[in-house]
Amino acid sequence: MENIRSELIPNNVDLDSAPGLVRAMSHWQSRFKAWWLERGPSGFQSHQVYLRTAVSVEPEGWARYDYVRMPEYRWGIFLAPSVKDRTIGFGDMQGKPVWQEPPEEHRESLRWLIAMQGDAEPASVEQQRLLGSTCPSLYDLRNLFQVNVEEARHLWGMSYLLLRYFGTEGWHAAEELLDRSSGDVERPRVLDAFNAPVEDWLHFFMYTAFTDRVGKVQLQAAAESAFDPLARTARFMATEEAHHLFVGETGVGRVLQRSAELMKNSANGSAQELGGIDLPVIQKYLNLWYSLTMDLFGAEVSRKAGAIFANGVKGRPKEAMFEDHDERDRSLRVESWDAAANALRYQDVPVRSAMNEVLRGLFTLDCRGVVERWNKVLASQGLQERLQLPSRRFNRQQGLLSSGHFAPDGTPVSAEEWALRRAEWLPTEADRAAVRNVQARAVLAPGEMANWIAPPPRGIHSKPIGFEYVRVET
């Protein structure tokens, strides 16, 4: 049986000192490798890719850049440095020492939280596995693979916690992370957004701009956990997650720039006419992925979320910035749709019970900033058109608003009007076909760029844009 040793896999958790854990992870690693080859990136497993690999947690040199074939990537287990004398920063046990082992009374909540986070990581790899065949450049192809291998490393991080701290139940949970598969009818991923197809690069850029931004919020919340190994794991994962957000936000920005350029060169003001993507289609993709991510935060009113906060299992992103770390007495107004009365209703609920809604609000503020930056791209090209972030009510499939229908601006509409106007607001098959059409050919020559996207302003790790980020010869 292959041993997992420090020289084979980067780690700072002293794997060599825990033979039982080494055996458990050795078995899990063999299953992971089979999963990666079966459901990881398709068509490029033998190619050398210029990737960064985590080798430490030190800010000055935490990553190494070099060519590597993805199946040989050294997935590591890293926890951010421990904070001396760290105490719980919120909830009923505020001020008490953090936990180095999961307390018995909180094991179930912690295992559930870790398994839910872990399920999202391989899901994104599975959703994106076919995108290499239509990549717009080697720069973008490399970024896709960097996102993929890092999401897989995040899977390693969550699986390590399950195997190290949760016994037989943790073993089964870690195994299930590899058993489920995005979009599978019998064993789908837990959350709907991680079963949605990511069938083109505009989907991918919106996914990494919005869905990975949910990941950032959730990781920052987990980084406040009283369970110190989870907090330290989440803090380091958030370091890598920042690149995924960069890929999505700048990717959409480059699509907008190129669409604007083509619009100005078209007699009819149509980007599609000249091989680009029209702004209304980009807006529809934005509407789709933003609304899908709204449901990832869970129910607006949740006793479970309240208990998780009260017990110190999971906090809020950057908890120190909040004035009240206890939240026993304050309330938050939450809206719902009353289908019988055909009207919006409002209720004031304890902040603890509305903790999912608190995180959803922080996410929304972050997304507004993203859309503002995208609109600056359009403004810089002299266009008057602007993208709009839809209402949090729009296209909700779960929660207190899911029984109603709402226009992107949040206005209630009838089921009949929704059916008539849905094609104005969300991508149609014709829209998706138009996007697939302009992305039909992969661009694999160094320095070349597909017609539908602008080049980035700079390359990766001080390399030029024309660098051979993926060596396409096998």
Q: What is the rounded CA–CA span in Å between residue 418 and residue 394?
A: 11
The answer to whether the predicted template modeling score (pTM) of the entire model surpasses 0.75 is: yes
Does 2 have pLDDT greater than 50? no
pLDDT of residue 59: 72
pLDDT of residue 34: 97
Other Cβ atoms less than 10 A from the Cβ of 265: the count is: 12
Closest CA to 402 of 468, 351, 335: 335
pLDDT of residue 426: 98
Other Cβ atoms less than 10 A from the Cβ of 267: the count is: 7
pLDDT band (50, 70, 90) for residue 6: very low
- Give, in degrees to the nearest 5, the angle at Cα 457 between 369 and 247: 50
Q: Which domains does the chain have, with CATH numbers?
A: 81-471 (1.10.620.20)
Tens-place pLDDT, residues 415-470: 999 999 999 999 999 999 999 999 999 999 999 999 999 999 999 999 999 999 99
pLDDT of residue 8: 63
pLDDT of residue 459: 97
How many residues belong to the chain? 474
With H, G, I as helix, E, B as strand and everything else as coil, classify residue 208: helix
CB-neighbour burial class of residue 171 (10 A; exposed 0-12, middle 13-18, buried 19+): middle
Using a pLDDT cut of 90, give the percent of the chain over it: 90
Residue 211 DSSP class: I
Q: What is the rounded CA–CA span in Å between residue 274 and residue 277?
A: 9
Please name the residues in contact with 400: beta carbons below 8 A apart, sequence gap of 6 or more. Answer: 299, 300, 301, 334, 335, 336, 337
Tens-place pLDDT, residues 68-108: 999 999 998 999 999 999 999 999 999 999 999 999 999 99
Does 153 have pLDDT greater than 90? yes
Please name the residues in contact with 469: beta carbons below 8 A apart, sequence gap of 6 or more. Answer: 49, 50, 138, 139, 141, 142, 446, 460, 463
Tell me the CB-side half-sphere exposure of residue 68, using CA atoms within 13 A.
Answer: 15
pLDDT band (50, 70, 90) for residue 62: confident
pLDDT band (50, 70, 90) for residue 7: low
pLDDT of residue 5: 46
Q: What is the rounded CA–CA span in Å between residue 54 and residue 287?
A: 34
Q: What is the rounded CA–CA span in Å between residue 421 and residue 394?
A: 13
Mean pLDDT, the chain, whole residue set: 95
pLDDT of residue 156: 96
Q: Are 32 and 178 in contact (CB under 8 A)?
A: yes
For the sheet with 470-471, list strands across it: 63-69, 48-54, 470-471
pLDDT band (50, 70, 90) for residue 4: very low
pLDDT of residue 15: 84
pLDDT band (50, 70, 90) for residue 154: very high
Q: Tell me the C-alpha to C-alpha distance, in Å, between residue 391 and each of 62, 347, 355.
A: 39, 19, 19
β strands within 107-147, DSSP E = none
pLDDT of residue 336: 98
pLDDT band (50, 70, 90) for residue 22: confident
Does 3 have pLDDT greater than 50? no
The continuous run of DSSP H or E covering 173 comes out as helix 167-179
Q: Tell me the C-alpha to C-alpha distance, in Å, between residue 54 and each of 9, 48, 143, 156, 340.
A: 10, 17, 16, 13, 54
Q: Are 55 and 64 in contact (CB under 8 A)?
A: yes
Tens-place pLDDT, residues 278-322: 999 999 999 999 999 999 999 999 999 999 999 999 999 999 999
pLDDT of residue 9: 66
Copy the structure tokens of residue 308.
């998780």
Q: What is the rounded CA–CA span in Å between residue 114 and residue 158?
A: 6
Q: Are 237 and 219 in contact (CB under 8 A)?
A: yes
Q: What is the rounded CA–CA span in Å between residue 271 and residue 273?
A: 5
Q: What is the rounded CA–CA span in Å between residue 288 and residue 426?
A: 6
pLDDT of residue 1: 32
Tens-place pLDDT, residues 164-222: 999 999 999 999 999 999 999 999 999 999 999 999 999 999 999 999 999 999 999 99
pLDDT of residue 10: 75
Q: What is the rounded CA–CA span in Å between residue 297 and residue 192?
A: 12
Measured in Å, how far apart are the chain's first and last C-alpha atoms?
30
